């Protein structure tokens, strides 16, 4: 090879290296540039959602999730997978269930009482002691037989025909209370074939998917050829997936020294899941679908406000003062949701001929209900817990959006036969929306970190 050719090749190599550095330096701005603007299928822009969430919703919903009524969630983590033989639960210590010591169970819960929105008081507030008694991130999901008996009379009533989720039987001996504050959603190490099969089943078998999309984890290609309802369904599942991934990236086990873990944002993991270059353009679309899901649940909260504004609805825990404060805070959040100026218009859905619309709505409901059943196939208990809660929360939001007439006819001082929410649906609805609010807040933090990494 002549020296001229070698010099030309060297020059081209240097130019390529410079171009690569330039490309890498602009990656953060590319992420920001692509996750902006007006969302498809609605007239809301991302910047407006960011500001609304940061200054109005996030501080209040975070505070609400710390209240006793919303802190405890009853769930059955032992239901068998209905679709395939289980591989056995994850053996990673951050995945499995550990009981919270009997001495740390809130006294009010043991006492028990009968009320349709009953959740007994927690006056001990021994959060730190209880957390130390558990393994790292392990789930506190079991109670003594005495405590189970105390809860057996909790009222179970629902409008089964409109459920979008496969609900756990709260009276089952396998259904257990979990303290959500002691079991935050974060990275557990659960991955591989088991985790892939769950999302593969969701996207490939239970989601309305454009024929042009093949890979199960590539659900966000332009959904041409799908009607509005199927596009919405697709974006909801994709947005939920994106939100879960954001939580894992933001609460990642960075290191563990002498048994003391250090949790925090993992930039490498965030780029792997959302960077437009590493995801071949899919990452920004995933994040946009997170915003779309936020809008859907925000709309549901604004629509269900009249249900909770009635004097008959009492978020009962046994602590009269705290119960009143909790309801005041919840109603304040509802007022904020109603003030948002760019809500998604759910009336545009199922608006065709009555027969076709009814059939499509039923297909929509059954698809989502099946996805809720798939959550029982998740091999990691902590992942299963949060997957079930957020799926039930979204299912409750859909139930609300498609029950507008029943909500409008609610009696002020007596229970309604047309529309009801169980306590578990209420807890799931608000905690699921809290997770979305947190995801959007965490995304803002990642944008700042990306800017500093340039």
Residue 241 marked in a binding site: yes
Q: Which of 42, 130, 165, 383 is catalytic?
A: 383
Tokens of 191: 């991955």
Residue 437 marked in a binding site: no
What's the Cα-to-Cα distance from 191 to each of 72, 92, 295, 341, 388, rounded to whole Å? 27, 11, 29, 40, 17
CB atoms within 10 A of CB 190: 21
Active site includes 383? yes
DSSP symbol at 41: T
Phi, psi angle pair for 232, to nearest 5°: -60, -50
Please enumerate in sequence order all residues whose Cβ is within 8 A of that of 175, keeping only pairs 6 or more positions apart, or say none.
74, 75, 76, 168, 169
Q: Which of 42, 130, 207, 380 is catalytic?
A: 380
CB atoms within 10 A of CB 168: 21
Q: Assess contact for 134 and 97: CB atoms under 8 A.
A: no
Q: Tell how many helices (H) and how many strands (E) occur in the chain.
A: 17, 4
Residue 186 marked in a binding site: yes
Residue 238 marked in a binding site: yes
Alpha-helix residue ranges (DSSP H) falling in 264-353: 267-274, 282-309, 320-339
Q: Evaluate the CA torsion angle 364, 366, 372, 375 in order and state its sign.
A: negative
**Which value, in Å, is the radius of gyration of the alpha carbons in the chain?**
23
CB atoms within 10 A of CB 161: 6
**How far is C-alpha 178 from the chain's CA centre?**
16
Phi, psi angle pair for 31, to nearest 5°: -60, -45
Q: Assess contact for 101 and 144: CB atoms under 8 A.
A: no
Residue 154 marked in a binding site: no
Detail the residues annotated as belonging to a binding site: 186, 188, 199, 238, 241, 273
Known catalytic residues?
A: 380, 383
Detail the residues annotated as belonging to a binding site for FAD: 186, 188, 199, 238, 241, 273
């Amino acid at each position: 090879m002549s020296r001229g050719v070698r010099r030309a090749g060297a020059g081209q190599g240097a130019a390529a290296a410079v171009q690569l550095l330039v490309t890498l330096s602009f990656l953060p701005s590319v992420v920001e540039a692509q996750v902006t603007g007006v969302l498809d299928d609605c007239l809301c822009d991302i910047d407006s959602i960011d500001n609304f969430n940061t200054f109005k919703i996030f501080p209040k919903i975070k505070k609400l999730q710390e209240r006793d009524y919303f802190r405890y969630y009853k769930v059955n983590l032992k239901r068998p997978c209905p679709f395939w033989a289980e591989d056995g639960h994850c053996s990673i210590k951050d995945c499995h269930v550990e009981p919270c010591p009997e001495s740390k169970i809130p006294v009010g819960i043991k006492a028990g009482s009968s009320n349709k929105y009953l959740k007994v008081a927690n006056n001990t507030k021994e959060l730190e002691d209880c957390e130390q008694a558990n393994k790292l991130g392990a789930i506190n999901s079991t109670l003594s037989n005495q405590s189970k008996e105390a809860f057996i009379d909790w009222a179970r009533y629902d409008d089964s025909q409109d459920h979008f989720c496969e609900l756990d039987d709260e009276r089952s001996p396998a259904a257990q209370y979990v303290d959500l504050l002691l079991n935050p959603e974060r990275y557990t190490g659960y991955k591989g074939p088991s985790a892939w099969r769950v999302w593969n089943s969701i996207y490939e078998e239970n989601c309305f998917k454009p024929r042009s999309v093949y890979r199960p984890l590539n659900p966000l290609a332009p959904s041409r050829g799908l009607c509005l309802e199927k596009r919405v369904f697709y974006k909801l599942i994709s947005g939920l997936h994106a939100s879960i991934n954001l939580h894992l990236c933001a609460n990642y086990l960075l290191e563990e020294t002498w048994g003391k873990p250090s949790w925090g944002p993992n930039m490498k993991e965030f780029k792997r899941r959302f960077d437009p270059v590493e995801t071949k353009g899919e990452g920004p679309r995933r994040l946009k679908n997170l915003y779309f899901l936020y809008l859907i649940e925000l709309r549901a909260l604004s629509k269900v406000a009249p249900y909770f504004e009635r004097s008959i609805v009492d978020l009962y825990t046994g602590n009269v003062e705290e119960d009143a404060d909790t309801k005041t805070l919840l109603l304040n959040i509802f007022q904020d949701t109603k003030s948002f100026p760019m809500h998604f218009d759910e009336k545009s859905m199922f608006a065709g001929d009555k027969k076709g619309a009814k059939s499509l709505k039923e297909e929509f409901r059954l698809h989502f209900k099946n996805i809720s059943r798939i959550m029982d196939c998740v091999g990691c208990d902590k992942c299963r817990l949060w997957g079930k809660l957020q799926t039930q929360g979204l299912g409750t939001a859909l139930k609300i959006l498609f029950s507008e007439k029943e909500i409008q006819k609610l009696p002020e001082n007596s229970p309604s036969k047309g529309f009801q929410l169980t306590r578990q649906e209420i807890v799931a609805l608000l905690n699921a929306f809290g997770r979305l609010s947190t995801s959007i807040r965490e995304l803002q933090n990642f944008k700042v970190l990306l800017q500093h990494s340039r």
